[in-house]
Structure 1
Amino acid sequence: MTVKDPPTPPFRERRRWARQQRPQADNGQPVPRALKPLVFSTADLPPKDQFSAWEAYAACIADVRLPDNVSPDTGFVASHTAWNLGGMLVVQQHMPAHRYQRSEAKLRSSLIDHWSVVFRRTGKSWTEVGGVVAEAQPESIEIRSLGHPFRGRMLDSDYVTLYLPRDLFADSVGILDANNNFVLSKNLAGVISNYITSIEARLNEFTQEDLPGVVKATRDLLIACVSSSEDRAPVTAQQMTIAPMERARRFIRSNLKSNTMTPDVLCKELGISRTHLYQLFEPSGGVVHYIQKQRLLAGHVALSDPGDRRQISVIADSLGFSSSADFSRAFSREFGYSPREARNLVAPANNTRTTGSTTPSETRSFEGWLKSLGS
């Protein structure tokens, strides 16, 4: 008896991700997509100008330099695509080999203390924090604070970086602080990397209503994986409590509109001496410097809010500035454009112009996104 081969099944296209149906509004029209990427690349520049362009672009985070014996004239083709989800930035990058350093001087000039989570697809990196070097291999997850100095080097790499504001982890400060410059590998790294890849696949589909949930899910997954890792650093009882610096940050941010917030008031609130207070804020350029930076960030948020039509002088007064002129000068030094330009959504050179109402994806520069992240 002849056995016939089974019929060949019809060809079916296999998709890595299920096709997503666009959400529809009450009127039956598709809900507008929330995100528009900010793209930067050196590929179209002459090779001799490529590294200096990237050096200027990356200066808001770290100082960069080429490996020894590598000339800038040979070229530095880098790409950087950023997506702003409001409470989190997703950045897709390709970077040739280079060295990087976020020094104490950089911390004082740029009060960005976000957490960065790096999923390295290719290449390797070696990063030193406090004398301890963390080596990151392909398919690993790196967790690092921008609120502490670090330095390192990387090989030619493709990777994705998530930037999340420190305030997002207010109830888990001890866990992350104990694991700064931590490299998560093996199974738990796979959980996070698969999640990041799934986010990337949907960046063009997210609606405004999706974004808070995505940020919260990312935060919860990160804490769960770090807490569950057998390799993580032990968290002491002291670290599990809110440290004086964290309490100071919270108090300052909740009292920005108070004209009576002074170092003496902070000392009384925290129950510490002036000497201790100054030591806490020394890496940030001093407590007065930190307070003013936070007030400027709050001013930026108010000016970027289409629903807040207060006069600039009123906003300045509400944030403790003695005059609108003082506020405008300090604002321009910090952001590179005036309060009036911020309100009118007019960006400086090399930044994205926008029209209409603002969304988390519609601001002016990567540096601006970092500074206002989570505000």
Structure 2
Amino acid sequence: MNNGLKALRLSSDELGAQGAFAAWQASLPQFSTDLNGAAMADFRVEQTAWLMDSLIVGSGLLAPIRVVRTLSQIGDGYSQFQFIQSIRGRWTGDADGRAIEAEEGDTICFDTARPFRVVNTFSNHRFLVVPRDKLPHALVSNPALHGTVLRSAGNFVLAAHLDALMRCLPALHEEEAARLTRGTLAILTAALGEIDDQRLSKAETQPAQPALRLRVERYIEHNLASPELTPEAISRDLGIARSSLYRAFSPLGGISSFIQLRRLDTACALLFHPEEHRSVRELAETLGFENSATFSKAFRRRFGCSPREARGRGTTQSRDTKAMFERWQVATQPPQQAAQDRSLVGAESV
């Protein structure tokens, strides 16, 4: 039997400005959100979203707001990619110190495992939430992805695809959605090929600190398996003063913390790879952890479950878009219905 896709709708016309803003905030606990100085009475939101296999696809209108992902929040393990495509309106902010300026037609790339800040004018936009393991490793590990604004021909193809997809989603069934998910990811991956072209064209004008950080991050990616991957080794091999190294990575929690997070994210991707058969202990050793116990403890702290639990389920608690979408559904429902759903969830867990 074919089933329709899970869907949600959030409307300030139905909930009122204050109720809709409260629901919108409740659906995004991994971010700090506010009205950026605007009056509550002026808040407006009209958004619809669907769970398309492992992707969340949506669109809508949104009044000016501010969304921030702080360094302290990154410890919650929420680690996915979000893409916001502006149809009308302007988005500005920064990602790891890199300025974001997106106009109509642009697509902004966000890695929620890294800090960022963004504000918007009144906007009409589409959005796409993608689990990390659904993108090629070369893209996932590319530090230039976070904060990049896509403007190439590939982005226009992606826009046309998402526009057509939004019209089809209400009538899609799960089997069709699985097929279209593969196509959507292929088009997204092609559009993201613009990132390296942008990096090369901006190399001469990029601020010194972000450029230094990109250089170090690429060194880290190539040496994750080395137990000798330390700030001292990086400073020595790249000829960078340790003070400059520490200063560059201070917005990300420090260089040592960044190395561990990259090792954990890489381990998570490997756990879900269909051709990866090494044990948890072997993966821990491969990625430079002292032992499997240290690795498992750090993994649970970041992702909310053990490596074995994640491998068994095929996802981590923090990366499960299906569970996240269900939380969105409860948060965006009218108060009486949301209370009933929460009580049902509680009863099922007893």
Q: TM-score, normalised by structure 1?
A: 0.59
Q: Do the aligned residues in 1 keep the contact of 2:61 with 2:125 (CA within 8 Å)?
A: yes
Distance 1:68 1:238, change over 3 A: closer
Q: Do the aligned residues in 1 keep the contact of 2:305 with 2:317 (CA within 8 Å)?
A: no
Find the counterpart in structure 1 of residue 335 from structure 2.
none
Inter-partner Cα distance in structure 2 for 1:165 and 1:141 = 22
Find the counterpart in structure 1 of residue 34 from structure 2.
65
Find the counterpart in structure 1 of residue 222 from structure 2.
254
- Amino acid in the other structure paired with 2:117: F
- Amino acid in the other structure paired with 1:168: L
Inter-partner Cα distance in structure 1 for 2:142 and 2:308 = 37
Which has the higher mean CA deviation after the structures are superposed, 283-292 or 247-256? 247-256
Task: Describe the SS at the equivalent of 1:237.
Answer: coil
Inter-partner Cα distance in structure 2 for 1:111 and 1:349 = 9
Inter-partner Cα distance in structure 1 for 2:215 and 2:318 = 38
Inter-partner Cα distance in structure 2 for 1:100 and 1:287 = 28
Find the counterpart in structure 1 of residue 266 from structure 2.
298
Matched, 1:55 2:25: yes
Find the counterpart in structure 1 of residue 247 from structure 2.
279
Which one of 191, 203, 206 corresponds to residue 218 of structure 1? 191
Q: Which has more radius of gyration?
A: 1
Which one of 106, 131, 136 corresponds to residue 141 of structure 1? 106
Which one of 57, 63, 85 corresponds to residue 97 of structure 1? 63
Q: CA RMSD in A?
A: 5.2
Give the unaligned 5+ runs of structure 2.
170-175, 326-350
Which has the higher mean CA deviation after the structures are superposed, 253-262 or 309-318? 309-318
Displacement of 1:287:
0.8
Q: Deviations over 1:34-93 (max 9, x none)?
A: xx97856557x9888764554354344x4222474427xx996644336588xxx67323
Q: Deviations over 1:189-217 (max 9, x none)?
A: 86663354356669837478757753443
Distance 1:153 1:325, change over 3 A: same
Distance 1:365 1:314, change over 3 A: farther
Q: Deviations over 1:272-296 (max 9, x none)?
A: 1111111221111111101111111
| Pairs within 5 Å for 1:33-182 | 51-52=21-22, 54-60=24-30, 62-66=31-35, 68-70=38-40, 78-81=47-50, 91-102=57-68, 104-105=70-71, 109=75, 118-121=84-87, 124-129=89-94, 134=101, 136-137=103-104, 140-143=105-108, 149-155=116-122, 157-161=124-128, 167-168=138-139
Distance 1:320 1:37, change over 3 A: farther
Q: Do the aligned residues in 2 keep the contact of 1:117 with 1:162 (CA within 8 Å)?
A: yes
Q: Do the aligned residues in 1 keep the contact of 2:272 with 2:314 (CA within 8 Å)?
A: no
Q: Deviations over 1:105-130 (max 9, x none)?
A: 36864799998653334x53442447
| Pairs within 5 Å for 1:178-217 | 193-197=159-163, 204=177, 206=179, 213-217=186-190
Inter-partner Cα distance in structure 1 for 2:312 and 2:298 = 18
Query: As a proportion of its length, which structure holds more helix?
Result: 2
- Amino acid in the other structure paired with 2:190: A
Q: Do the aligned residues in 2 keep the contact of 1:102 with 1:149 (CA within 8 Å)?
A: yes
- Amino acid in the other structure paired with 1:119: Q
Q: Do the aligned residues in 1 keep the contact of 2:267 with 2:283 (CA within 8 Å)?
A: yes
Distance 1:260 1:104, change over 3 A: same
Displacement of 1:263:
0.8
